[in-house]
Structure 1
Amino acid sequence: MRCLRAVAALLLLSAAVAGEAAAEPPPPPPAFTLPWLQELIDQVVPPPPIAPVPQEYSEPAAAPEVTPGLAALRQAVRPAPVGDPIFDAWPANLDTFGAGEVIEVRDVTATAAPLALVPIRQALLLKFRTNDAHDQPSFGTATLVIPAAAWTGPGDRPVVVNNLPIDALGRECNPGYTLAHGFSLKSTNLTDFIPPTTQLAALRGYAVLIPDHEGPWMAYAEPYVAGHIVLDAIRAVRGRLPDEFGDSRFGMTGYSGGAIATHGAVKLVESYAPELAGSIVGAALGGVPADYEILSRSLNANLASGVFMAATFGVGRERTEILTAMNNLAQWAATSPLKDTCASLFALPGVLMLPIDIAANIPDPLHSDLAREIYRVTRMPGMKSAVPLYIYNGEQEFWIPAEGARNLYREQCGLGVPAVYRSVLGEHIIAAGLGYPEAVVWLDQRLQGVPASSEC
């Protein structure tokens, strides 16, 4: 019912926005110029009922200072439990574990093997200590898939870190949940299987590590959370199976939402996991959402606005300053059943083509000081990748313009990183298919020990 109320309010507001646009002949300026609408929303839409946090609840010491009301909202927007402790349970003694130290292991071979589509020896679901966006203790999960065939190449078996585009707000949407519980029409993402990175890697003899890189709060699009989890997943594999993977080469790949995690990971190696710099031999990332200021122009007030709003809420789960800027309508949406959905559902409100501005309680939110700070932090400017990069993007991209990927390439070249950039024909989906083969070949060469060349 709460979800239906929010959607109904969005429909009414869509008509109001359309009426305002029709009444003014000149084209609208880029800045949001309907402050009266924001005021009307909070007058018409009451705040959602949000339970206060328990008295014993406290925020991490390094997190931004929050009021009791904001703490309650933060709790309310977080994803609901899925009934599996490995994804839900928060270890009481988490701060006693080192980064990447394994907390729990579950053998999920029985459910993962049919989904792998190629012979595998074992699939292990790992739960490990990591850090959140504020460097406070958190936990992550990842699945290690080991092929059935013995590794006959030199050294330890290489590992492909397959950063999938999870793009979700609910825990059931994690690839680790699917591999542990089986395929679901409701929550399994098609991109878990297409392109067939896991299958191709396993046939090549490589192990595959699949991180659930949005973390326990499903902080969709937050690069620090994702980067920490990816790096700590590698630490967990090396620490848990040192005889088999202690000296392995690790190579990362990720497209779109998976590129967010890959981008975060390669830039955090030097400061967060410097001991991995010699083990991670390269990263291939495509359809790269490297600059959210660019995306605020390309994804807002069009068919992609549902995804843009969901990503904003996802980042807000870690960066509570975003929550303070949400009006009553946004709070209804962020605490409704939408908070536990996958992209196939939360993308649907995009048909209304509403600007995210109507969900804010501040004027011109996408050009505000708050927005500029979020753009800066998530861009991770000046941070040098510790590994060679292969970057590709569709030249005709309209959702995730190539400008962001090209800027990332230029930045990393300027910092001395060996890098390659490929402009690929097509928009997001076509470019994903056309750019994939060369990216996989590039990554395979790194895993085979061929040094990376640079085109900077």
Structure 2
Amino acid sequence: MGRRSTGRIRMTSVLLAAVIAVAGCSSDADEQATPTTGAGGVEYRVDTDGAGPGALRAAETMPLLDRRVRANSQLALRVKYVSTDGRTGEETETWGAFFAPKGPAPEGGRPVIVLPHGTSGVLGECGVTLKSDLGDLAVTAASWLQLGYVVVVPDYQGLGDPDEQRPTHPYLDARTSGRNVIDAVRAARYLVPETGTRWGALGGSQGGQAAWAANALAETYGSELDLVGVAALSPAADVSGLADLAASGTMTVEQYGLYNWLLLALNAENPELDLRRFVGPEVLASWDELSQCSASRGAQRAEVLESLSADELRPTSPEAVTELRELLRERAVPDLPAAAPTIVIYGGKDELVRSGWTAAAVRRGCARGDVVHTQFQPAADHGGIDGRQVVGWLTARFDDEPSYNRCAEIERAG
């Protein structure tokens, strides 16, 4: 027992800044623009004979990778692996950044930490594995590597191709991103032979949704793996309420970008979707600018968003509102029992994902019988929550300690 406590104190000191970095998630991809790694990487030979989810299909080096990650890795690769489209069930391929720590593996194999990232965009070129700082996750990745964990930063389906400038990513589709997260663990086991089956996930914003979704899917989709717990910070668990805010003209400017990227993704998935039912002509005329995620186009995108009026983003009829609400609800965290405990931390001044939406998602999890620990921070905005509690919580899960469950309190509070 004493040895476990000592390990947790060490982990807390190492990961404190890292968790704060994950908590500082942003919906604005312009802040994440950094040099690409894909442009300078060279092919790295891996075993591509495997089949099914997690099987490897290609790999390349990451020569421009953040030095802190490189210094703590014995292996650092950008890898294409097999996953599953959560909407169609079809086999897909997605990219992820994989890092193996230095030193000998412990008995039973190395544990895995998956770090699903926050919003980076909807175009293929918007993947964080193409960025030297991994979309601000480099510090977090380096910290877990120091502690002996295999670390994976998955790009979600449709992201990670530096030459793809179309909206190929099913943005905020939890059924897909959750599978991408689980399959990243499988891919790590193909890539790093000493990788064990125990894993956890920590994500903010879109990454919080992906981590939470992976927990909901793990019992049926990843049952051969041992998920110990997930941490979801400011998670976009269910943004279907955005349709009603658009109808009432009460979206924030932060939500304008979220709304447009969701429509871009929905239209790419269903070209017959008539966008004129959801946005006005000024928005449609600026569709190219609104789709961008690069630093060179980021300022232009921000200017367009700030120039829009609520009327330009208002669905044209009650039927359009209902349709959009249902389309967004289908992308929410699946309504399935979680395989492991979840901690959810969210803020009362979140201008992107309303706190009421997150609270409702927590209540649904409790109704399913999930073990959910929550922390509501009334003064925090989307990227400003204090995530220090997550450090001790996650390490306790790897130590096989039970999580505190707040569901009884939540149910009593109504």
Pick closer, same or farther for the CA change 1:380–1:399 going to 2, 3 Å: closer
Pick closer, same or farther for the CA change 1:113–1:380 going to 2, 3 Å: closer
- Provide the C-alpha distance between the structure 2 equivalents of 1:157 and 1:307, rounded to a whole number of angstroms: 37
- Provide the C-alpha distance between the structure 1 equivalents of 2:375 and 2:267, rounded to a whole number of angstroms: 32
Superposed CA deviations along residues 7-46 of structure 1, whole A, max 9, x for unmatched, are: xxxxxxxxxxxxxxxxxxxxxxxxxxxxxxxxxxxxxxxx
Pick closer, same or farther for the CA change 1:449–1:341 going to 2, 3 Å: same
Pick closer, same or farther for the CA change 1:107–1:411 going to 2, 3 Å: same
Query: 1:122 pairs with 43, 53, 75, which one?
Result: 75
Query: 2:204 pairs with 235, 241, 255, which one?
Result: 255
Pick closer, same or farther for the CA change 1:406–1:85 going to 2, 3 Å: same
Amino acid at match of 1:444: T
Decide whether the 8 Å contact of 1:400 with 1:428 is kept in 2: no
Cα deviation for residue 258 of structure 1 reads: 1.1
Pick closer, same or farther for the CA change 1:454–1:104 going to 2, 3 Å: same
Cα deviation for residue 218 of structure 1 reads: 2.4
State the number of aligned residues: 347
Query: 1:172 pairs with 114, 125, 146, which one?
Result: 125
Decide whether the 8 Å contact of 1:126 with 1:142 is kept in 2: yes
Decide whether the 8 Å contact of 1:287 with 1:393 is kept in 2: yes
Decide whether the 8 Å contact of 1:221 with 1:315 is kept in 2: no
Pick closer, same or farther for the CA change 1:407–1:429 going to 2, 3 Å: closer
| CA RMSD after TM alignment | 3.2
Query: 1:442 pairs with 368, 393, 398, which one?
Result: 393
- Provide the C-alpha distance between the structure 2 equivalents of 1:367 and 1:361, rounded to a whole number of angstroms: 6
Decide whether the 8 Å contact of 2:243 with 2:324 is kept in 1: no
Partner residue of 1:404?
A: 357
- Provide the C-alpha distance between the structure 2 equivalents of 1:342 and 1:111, rounded to a whole number of angstroms: 17
Decide whether the 8 Å contact of 1:167 with 1:220 is kept in 2: no
Partner residue of 2:263?
A: 312
Amino acid at match of 1:283: V
Amino acid at match of 1:235: R
Query: 1:203 pairs with 146, 150, 160, which one?
Result: 146
Cα deviation for residue 361 of structure 1 reads: 7.7
- Provide the C-alpha distance between the structure 2 equivalents of 1:390 and 1:360, rounded to a whole number of angstroms: 35
Partner residue of 2:164?
A: none
Partner residue of 1:103?
A: 57
Decide whether the 8 Å contact of 1:301 with 1:353 is kept in 2: no
Partner residue of 1:416?
A: 369
Pick closer, same or farther for the CA change 1:329–1:286 going to 2, 3 Å: same
Decide whether the 8 Å contact of 1:298 with 1:398 is kept in 2: no
Partner residue of 1:192?
A: 137
Q: Which runs of 5+ in 2 are unaligned?
A: 1-35, 42-47, 160-167, 408-414
TM norm structure 2 = 0.73
Partner residue of 2:222?
A: 273
Pick closer, same or farther for the CA change 1:363–1:257 going to 2, 3 Å: same
Q: Which runs of 5+ in 1 are unaligned?
A: 1-81, 88-93
Query: 1:426 pairs with 379, 382, 387, which one?
Result: 379
Pick closer, same or farther for the CA change 1:115–1:352 going to 2, 3 Å: farther
Pick closer, same or farther for the CA change 1:85–1:102 going to 2, 3 Å: farther
Decide whether the 8 Å contact of 1:170 with 1:340 is kept in 2: yes
Superposed CA deviations along residues 158-198 of structure 1, whole A, max 9, x for unmatched, are: 111011113312333322112xxx46xxxx74x334xx321
Secondary structure of 1:160 counterpart: strand
Q: Percent identity?
A: 20
Corresponding position: 1:287 with 2:234:
yes
Pick closer, same or farther for the CA change 1:86–1:443 going to 2, 3 Å: farther
Pick closer, same or farther for the CA change 1:287–1:273 going to 2, 3 Å: same
